[in-house]
Structure 1
Amino acid sequence: MSRLARPARLMVGERVRFDGQVRIVLALSGHVVMLSELGGQPRAVPPALLFADDDFEIVGSAGRVSLPAVSLLETLPQPVLEKALWWESHILEVLHGLPPDAPGDTGPRPEYAPTRSLTSREKAKAAELTAAGHRVSASTVANYRRRYESGGVLGLADHRPIRKRPQYGEVDDRVVAAMRQAIAEAVDASTRTGSFLLWRTGELLREQGEPVELPSQRTLYRLLAKLTAGTHTTGSAVTRRSRAHGAQAPFGELPAFAPGEVMQIDSTPLDVLVRLDDGVAGKVELTGMIDVATRTVTAAVLRPATKSVDASVLLARTLTPELMRPGWVEALRMARSVLPHRRLLSLDERLEHAAARPVIVPEMIVCDHGKVFISRNFIASCRFLEIDVQPAHKGSPFEKGHIEKMLSSVGTLFAQFVSGYTGRNSDRRGRHLDSQPLWSLLELQELVDEWLVAKWQNRRHDGLRDPVHPGRSFTPNEKYAALVEACGYVPVALTGTDYIELLPAIWRAVNDYGIKISRRTYDGPGLIRRQDSGVRAKKGLWEVHHDPYDVSRIWVRNHHGDGEWIEARWKHLHRVPVPFGELAWDHVSQSLPRATEVEIADAVAALLAKAGAGPEQPAKPGTRRTARDRRIAARTRATTTSAPSVPQPVASAEADAESGQGPAEIADEPLAKVIPLGLFDPLENPWRRS
């Protein structure tokens, strides 16, 4: 990039070409230029005649002189700056006849008149300064004059305080090269301390066979600090690899002007302990998808370990409306939000009972190289929906920084309020976390969904600002509504059949009692029982699609018909409150006013309070179980689960009805007192009474 420069100007002492000869400018004024003449008196030429001559040029001039770096004056010590400004006032009087602080009606002194030569003016200034107590010569004044003409005030200053020093001091270049190699070897290795890097530097120098004298240890540590600045060589291994293997070109960003144009997907462990299906406390992974244009989190799911089918289910949830759940406040309805509910309702009737989360159809999905997102299952689902999958460069998480930031924000805005929060690493982890009331996986999933609708979609985002008024920020829902008006985006949600096709498939037999999946029995009136499906590759089993996050129902493909889906519901759905059960809705349309910020804020506060308190733990009547009793019961369940399955007697429903006790009531009975048996001691006197 070229520096800003000022145009050349005619000055006293310049050599110019005029009338076929090279002449010297002896004096300057507004009306005449005095030029030297070979073998005669100086020649007075009007400036207009001089500049109009065809042969006129300034001989030996650079043409344009670069402007000095005036900002460097701030780096100078105050005495050095004051001396430079003192010299500037005297040099300006030599050049122009007047000092910079002279009144407007003051004329130049005779010794500095423009008609006098530059050399005579420099001699006059030297005599004046010497008489004032500053012993200088005419050559010194001429030197400062040339320095001012080339560098301005900065040229008059002493450059020693701002003089550039060698980057690595007096350290041998071979030592620098060896330390660079040691740092490069540590990129993909485990993190070590600086002492190891210094030892490795010495080893590399010895391997080269050249005798090199190492500087002091303090000097080596200073050199190591300079070479490892910003590389995290002795810090986080993940960050170090990301910095080393990331893109070297300037950062770019895919422009996104419409919802769904660019979306990002990723997974991360959630820093919350949950109660898994087997009753053991464990951690789960959070997989989410975010829209870059609106910052809308279209879906987020929890699983003990993310699989390829989970990514496909996440895609299916992105393309379908989020229905209101039992217990959610009315302020979370789409009808009471800023979203264009009435316009979208004509396209999809399911939005009548939808929550305030927009449905966005992706055009491009940016992901990393995880096996989940480059799997055949996920790629096939995206190809079916005509979605472009764009993997980011390896070791370049900044290319999908929006989803990375969103997953990090979940930890600070939501996870830390949930009972069982573990902290992001072992240094921040508390004690006895498994003794706290923990949410089950399905219950925590419902809390996440409600928080996204209540908090995230109504939270002002710093990246969503009005270009005309940058001081105003938008929420994801407000940005979605604005972009719909601006670009005319119309979402087309998945149909019910398409949604079922994206769900993971398993193969099961249809018995008289229905279909059993994960110890849950599903049944429906349309099932074809105890018959071969006709699919020989699966030994006559039936194709069953299920939502891992909705245990209320499954779908069975009718292989005897046209491939339509037969719905089967969980038989005990009416007995257990299932977070994702498809319950009956009130289809009476209600004219509700738009939700206020106070109502939404109250809903978020209630949600976080509920999440922090943990699930309710009702005490069983007449029972007080100690910690030892709970440990014994847990071990018994673990032993029963891991032991080989054996036939167990099953109590009939009639017997339960006669006794008046169901399975749950029997489990609630007080535990009987356990009398342990003594150990046989052959040396003990059997006739002695204890």
Structure 2
Amino acid sequence: MDGEPVTKDSEWVAKLRVGMPVVFDGEQVFVQSWADGWVQFVDAANRPVTPRPLRAVVKAIASPENPPPASMLLHDLDDRLSDTAIGKRDYHRALIRYIDTGIAPWQGDNEKPSRDVDPDVIHIEGKRLAAIARRIAEHDEIPYETARKRVSRAIKRETAGPTATVDGRYTRERRKNRDADIPALVEKFLLDRVFDPALHTQTQYLEFRLWLLGTAPDITKPPSERTFYRLVNRVHKRMPHLKTKSKTKHGTEQAPKQSFALRHLERPGSLWQIDATTSNVMLWDPKDRTGKARTYRVTLVKIIDSATRMIVGRSISEHSSGVGVVLALADAFASMVDDRETVTVDGRVYPRPFVGIPRALTRWPIPPRRLITDNGKDFLSNFHVSQLARLGCEVEFARVRDPRAKAFIERSFLSYKTEFEELCAGYVGGSIDERGLHTEALLTWDQLWERDQQWTDLYNFREHRGLRAELGRRISPYQRWAELVGETGFVEMPKWENEWIRFLPTFRAKLRKYGITRRYELFNAPIIETLLRTPGASRDGYWTFHYNPSDLRQVYCFDPDGTAWEVPWVLRTEDTPQFSDHSLTVLGGQVGDLTLRRTEYQDRMLQLLIQWRADDDLIRGGRSELSRTDEMNAVAYERLQALDSGTVIPSDMDYDLEELLDQAGADVDADSDDDLDDIDDLFGRFA
């Protein structure tokens, strides 16, 4: 047949094989030979049977009665086909009908075919197929060559039988080319790699191929990437823990065993839990800050009382830091002496359960006995631990890789995320599959903080499901606090006197006759000379000072009798603008290439600071030399200072130190009775 055109008969002949089984009228026979358009058969006993025409044989082979070995799934093919597959199969059948009868797919069954495609008129097969391709190209508006290829493919698929007219995945045996041990090997691979870092999909597949070469070298045909991930998904459904991140896997495996020794806390303040979390709400910064993006996320620190589940402390900062942790603790204590505000819930006025940043009970203040925290560097800082020691609060560090020790605060973060953050504009979630509906950064940090305050009020007044499960009744954290206070009592907290200063960061500096230095900045006041002249005031010549990171125009110190003093920057004037550590860092970068003496450097810094503030109103309203953390800390310390009734002695005041100290000692006894009366009035307002 060399040199002859490939006709339909020649294509069918190419499909025949000696010994191929064929079923005619329910009886199975086997192909023996074929020639001149006829096929000779033999039966199972090798006896010759009646020959049959080639066309009849090929149609019988393509019928459902003669499924080839790869099409054993044809019996329920119609039930398993998708809508798309059914549409493709129906179009194929209509195209074959077009080739056999000349009736186009867009024609009805009773319509007559066109003369140029009618098999009864045009007997030359190639000419008729070319005409069919032209009509398909005109109707579907496609190139002629594309239509010609479509006709040729339809003929080949019809010749191959039903298995070729649909997607091969519907008819092929899926396990034909896959080793039976592959599913077990995939599971073993995942178990062996349980603590490995999470890999990209393609990387994980290549890692499996490499692992397979060393584990099962006898497997010559590994699964495809698609099959591999299908098997991986099956394993993950049975063992979901294998799907978690590597860090979580390590933590779960290395976490200490549960002791089952539950704490039964019956007193508010017996155990507080503190932790920090990154907000899932993207914020917008309306001010232009050097080197800072306009969108960012803040860190929230919260404190919760274990006995009542009440949030008693909060703070906000741009980055997690020891100052942010201490601010949460400081405001929790500050709120115990602040009775200036109330909260309205459903039209009813209550004494605000916690006020400011953060807020806690003012009617029944109870300081904590113990604070449980994790082992992060912010909570292990000397600043934080020393503040706890000063307040008489024991610190308990949670066990490593065991979040159950702080279960209440961890669960409150989940409530905060699902009940508050997901409803805020700019919610971005913890991963890409948790994005909110409105991810555009819209809120500023103070707007978010105000909304968080309102939500926290509702949280402490609403029914708490954890308390309901524990007590068997509907009760809010605020009501639970009030009930336990009735059983255990509360502590009378005196008003603050310069207590806010003690919550500021500290540094120790050498006392010199010209003052003290911090970051090459000079501070001086008469109290420095007094401390130098007082015998035994400072044994090593150093003294502890407090500073506000957001306002370095002055620092503070306490004398041996506890009186607070202000120590100003030596170049401070009435017009000196507020500056911070961040301002010093920015300024240091601007003059870092110069060689200036200390006084020249300070003069230059003052000129620059005045120049920055002397710009036009538009620029000054749009720029800020404070970092976001400085700005948040400044607001927090201003609120703390507003609660304080102490007096700081200014540096320019004329005074006699001995006379002041004698007068202060004489007034202690006289003022103590008045202070107690004030406390009685403070806690009797809501009685």
| TM-score interval (norm. to shorter) | 0.3 to 0.5
Taking structure 2 as the reference length, the TM-score comes to 0.46
Taking structure 1 as the reference length, the TM-score comes to 0.45
Structure having the higher helix fraction is 2
